[in-house]
Amino acid sequence: MIIVKIVGGLGNQMFCYAYAKMLSISGYNVKIDTSVYKTYKLHGGYQLDKYNIDLDTLSGDKNTKFYSNGVVFKILKKFGLLKIKREESLLFDESFKTPNDKVYIEGYFQSEKYFCDIKDILLNQFVLKTTLSNYAISIKDKITQNSCSIHIRRGDYLLGKNINYHGVCDLKYYQDATDFLEQKCGDLTYFIFSDDIEWAKGNLKLNNAFYVDSSDRLPHEDIYLMSLCQNNIIANSTFSWWGAYLNQNQNKIVIAPKIWFSNAKLQSQTSDLIPNEWIRV
């Protein structure tokens, strides 16, 4: 059995699950460990249960020694009694596609190279099984054929060490991205998603912009609404990466930032992050 640890907010959870699903399709007996969410409550906590996923979790399983926040797990890990395969870089690593059996795997797996062969399966699994809120339905009804989502990630990226780790996309990025799209597509209706919507309202100078602004917004609904737009301008965030990836418009244009991290070492590891057909600005 292989166990894949699920970590982070919804975007990271989807990367981890997509990797685990690839292993399952390849013939491995795979379970996912979601036990970190017993204590991790940031970004809405565990969100994959909103989707039509089918991999088993360790919840209720006898193999509680594998729970990553469990005492037994930590002891086994300390003394080298548990085989752990840990991602050492954000670059694609072919060895993770064919791991040894009976191993606990940790990583972010932020490249479609891990799961591009099962994209159609993922598109079917990352379908919401929950009913949309009234607010999400109202936004869905506004999304037109000539539309583009814009994601602005600020919030926690501006806190403490994060500003020197993640950094934020500047206004020039969004201006260059919208200029490029309008040259290709003409006038667009923009749907703005942000964790700092007031900043977006005060700084973006766009015609035909609709700001998705409600205290009732839910992460999984935002990704769904992004995916409905014809085109996408993403932030340096796995959250909007998935909003664009799940967009099934065959003629979509996706704009992504060249600078994903302000940390130089991490930035050097982003060459496998963005699909080839997306445009980096």
Judge whether 113 and 197 are in contact, CB under 8 Å: no
The Cα–Cα gap between 36 and 5 comes to 8
Lowest mean pLDDT among 26-30, 95-99, 137-141, 160-164: 160-164
Query: Does residue 101 register a pLDDT over 90?
Result: no
- The tokens for 204 are 């973006």
Mean pLDDT of the chain: 90
| pTM (2 d.p.) | 0.92
- Are the C-beta atoms of 69 and 39 separated by less than 8 Å? yes
Rounded CA-CA distance 195/100 in Å is 40
Indicate whether 69 pLDDT > 60: no
Other C-beta atoms lying within 10 Å of the C-beta of residue 207: 10
* CB neighbour list of residue 51: distance below 8 Å, 6 or more residues apart: 125, 126, 127, 128, 129, 220
Query: Has residue 212 got a pLDDT over 70?
Result: yes
Residue 132 to residues 124, 158, 219, 241, Cα–Cα distance (Å): 17, 30, 12, 21
Q: Using the 8-state DSSP alphabet, how is residue 159 labeled?
A: S
